[in-house]
Amino acid sequence: MLIKPGSKSFWKLSKPLLFLICLLPWVILLLQAFEVMGLGLGANPVEELLHELGRWGLKLLLLTLFITPMRRWTGWNWLLGFRRMLGLFAFFYVVLHFFTYAILDQGLDFDAIIEDIIKRPYITLGLTGLLLLIPLAVTSTKGMMRRLGKKWQKLHRLVYVVAIVAVWHFYWQVKLDTLDATIYALVLMVLFAARVYHAHSSRS
Ligand code: HEM
- Quick check: is 16 in a domain? no
Determine how many CB atoms are found less than 10 A away from the CB of residue 36: 11
Q: How far away, in angstroms, is 100 Cα from ligand 1 center?
A: 10
List of the chain residues with pLDDT < 70: 1
- Quick check: is 22 in a domain? no
Q: How far away, in angstroms, is 44 Cα from ligand 1 center?
A: 16
For position 1, what pLDDT does the model report? Answer: 60
- Quick check: is 78 in a domain? yes
The CA R_g of the chain, rounded to the nearest whole Å, is 19
> In testing the pocket of ligand 1, which one of 41, 50, 119 has its CB within 8 Å of the most ligand atoms?
50
Q: Is the CB of 59 within 6 Å of ligand 1?
A: no
Q: What is the pLDDT of residues 31-54, one digit of tens each?
A: 999 999 999 999 999 999 999 999
Q: Is the CB of 132 within 6 Å of ligand 1?
A: no
Q: What is the pLDDT of residues 80-96, one digit of tens each?
A: 999 999 999 999 999 99
- Quick check: is 177 in a domain? yes
> In testing the pocket of ligand 1, which one of 46, 136, 170 has its CB within 8 Å of the most ligand atoms?
170
- Quick check: is 77 in a domain? yes
Domains identified in the chain, total number: 1
Question: What range does the domain containing 110 cover?
Answer: 44-203
Of ligand 1's listed atoms, the one at least distance from the Cα of 47 is: 40
Q: How far away, in angstroms, is 9 Cα from ligand 1 center?
A: 38
- Quick check: is 1 in a domain? no
> In testing the pocket of ligand 1, which one of 173, 177, 178, 183 has its CB within 8 Å of the most ligand atoms?
173
Concatenate the DSSP letters of all residues of 82-123 into one string: GHHHHHHHHHHHHHHHHHIIIIIITTT-HHHHHHHHHH-HHH
SS3 readout for the chain: CCCCCCCHHHHHHHHHHHHHHHHHHHHHHHHHHCCHHHCCCCCCHHHHHHHHHHHHHHHHHHHHHHHHHHHHHHCCHHHHHHHHHHHHHHHHHHHHHHHHHHHHHCCCCHHHHHHHHHHCHHHHHHHHHHHHHHHHHHCCCHHHHHHHCHHHHHHHCHHHHHHHHHHHHHHHHCCCCCHHHHHHHHHHHHHHHHHHHHHHHHHC
CA distance 42 to 35: 10
Cα-based angle 41, 36, 28 (whole degrees, multiple of 5): 60
- Quick check: is 166 in a domain? yes
For position 203, what pLDDT does the model report? Answer: 76
For position 26, what pLDDT does the model report? Answer: 98
- Quick check: is 14 in a domain? no
